[in-house]
């Protein structure tokens, strides 16, 4: 209904590419494209559609990915994590609860004029 907000979850990898993660990267690029398409299709009905693109969040899935990336790159997980954190303007890994405010903002009336956007929440890792 009018005033509704759809919030998709993509990833910073929806804006960049990462070797050996083609299917994941492609799916995140697709979510951003779908977000833009739905924003155009649903805007006339007063429905906003945006995507959140998290960076590294400490979840079981991201830590498994970190392990696979370290193994494939023949580096330790600690060294890889140090490289990731070193690429961020605000170093450190986010926790899942750190993402809540972004979703609440996009769902609120404060974001009434925002649609078709992919919002990076990545501690400054990827230039948007």
Confidence of residue 19 (pLDDT cuts 50, 70, 90): confident
Total residues found in the chain within this entry: 128
* Region at 29 (left for phi over 0; alpha for psi -120 to 50; beta for the rest): alpha
Domain ranges of the chain: 5-121
- Give tens-digit pLDDT for 23-80: 999 999 999 999 999 999 999 999 999 999 999 999 999 999 999 999 988 999 999 9
> CA nearest 83: which of 33, 46, 53, 125?
125
CATH architecture of the domain 5-121 equals 3-Layer(aba) Sandwich (3.40)
Task: Please give the full DSSP string across 34-64, using - where no structure is assigned.
Answer: HHHHHHHHHGGGT-EEEEEEE--B--HHHHH
DSSP 68-98: HHHHHHTS-HHHHHHHHHHTSSS-SPBPGGG
Q: Which of 24, 47, 62, 87 is catalytic?
A: 24
Per the annotation, the verdict on 24 as an active-site residue is yes
pLDDT given for residue 126 in this prediction = 87
């Amino acid at each position: 209904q009018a005033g509704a907000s759809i919030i998709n979850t993509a990833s910073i990898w929806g804006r960049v590419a990462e070797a050996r993660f083609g299917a994941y990267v492609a799916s995140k690029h697709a979510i951003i494209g779908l977000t833009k398409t739905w924003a155009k299709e649903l805007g006339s009905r007063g429905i906003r559609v945006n995507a959140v693109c998290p960076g590294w969040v400490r979840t079981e899935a991201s830590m498994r990915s970190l392990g696979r990336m370290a193994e494939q790159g023949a580096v330790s997980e600690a060294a890889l994590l140090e490289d990731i954190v070193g690429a961020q303007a605000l170093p450190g890994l986010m926790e899942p609860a750190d993402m809540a405010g972004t979703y609440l903002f996009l769902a609120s009336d404060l974001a009434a004029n925002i649609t078709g956007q992919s919002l990076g929440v990545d501690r400054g890792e990827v230039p948007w």
